[in-house]
Each structure stands twice: as C-alpha cells, then as structure tokens.
C-alpha cells in the first residue's frame, strides 16, 4: 500500500512538473496520503506499529520539519 501511495505522488508530480514552493509540494503529498489513508481503514496494524505512528505524530507536532533553503528564500 505504501508503494502505491508513493507511485501516486510521483504520477501527480510528473503531471505538474514544477511546484511553486515547498508548502504546495507538501500539500500535494499529504493530500495523496490522506486519500490513501481513508482506504487503509480496513487494514490491520499491530500495537507496536500503531504506537510508532503515535510517537512520530507527537514528535512532528513538537518539532516541525524545517528546510534550511526555504528559510533562506524567505529572508
């Protein structure tokens, strides 16, 4: 399923060719992943995988991803 999501992201970015900024690229990726997430509801995950997802989500909320080149462009 994850490989399918990556293929869909690649397919959509090939159509667009160039995105205006990092935020629009992330919006595209997260939009595709959100669509696939809704399809994954019937899949079973063990407790260990679910806990890893919860931990990763909490870490991202505490310390967002930063890209140095984007910060330089904004300055």
For the chain, 75 residues long, give each residue's pLDDT as a single digit of tens: 678 888 888 888 888 778 788 888 888 888 888 888 777 776 677 888 888 888 888 887 777 666 666 566 665
Q: What's the pTM?
A: 0.46
Give the pLDDT of residue 75.
57
Return the pLDDT at 71. Answer: 60
Please say whether the beta carbons of 12 and 32 come within 8 A: yes
The per-residue pLDDT for 53 is: 83
- State which residues form the domain around 63: 2-74
Q: Give the pLDDT confidence score for residue 54 in this predicted structure.
A: 86
Task: Please give the pLDDT value at position 3.
Answer: 81
Give me the number of domains the chain comprises: 1
Smallest Cα–Cα separation from 74: which of 13, 19, 23, 17?
23
């Amino acid at each position: 399923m994850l490989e399918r999501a990556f293929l869909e992201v690649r397919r959509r970015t090939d159509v667009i060719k160039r995105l205006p900024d990092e935020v629009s690229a992330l919006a595209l990726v997260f939009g595709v992943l959100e669509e696939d997430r809704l399809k994954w509801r019937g899949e079973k995950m063990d407790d260990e995988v679910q806990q890893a997802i919860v931990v990763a989500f909490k870490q991202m909320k505490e310390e967002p991803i930063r890209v140095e080149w984007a910060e330089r462009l904004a300055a």
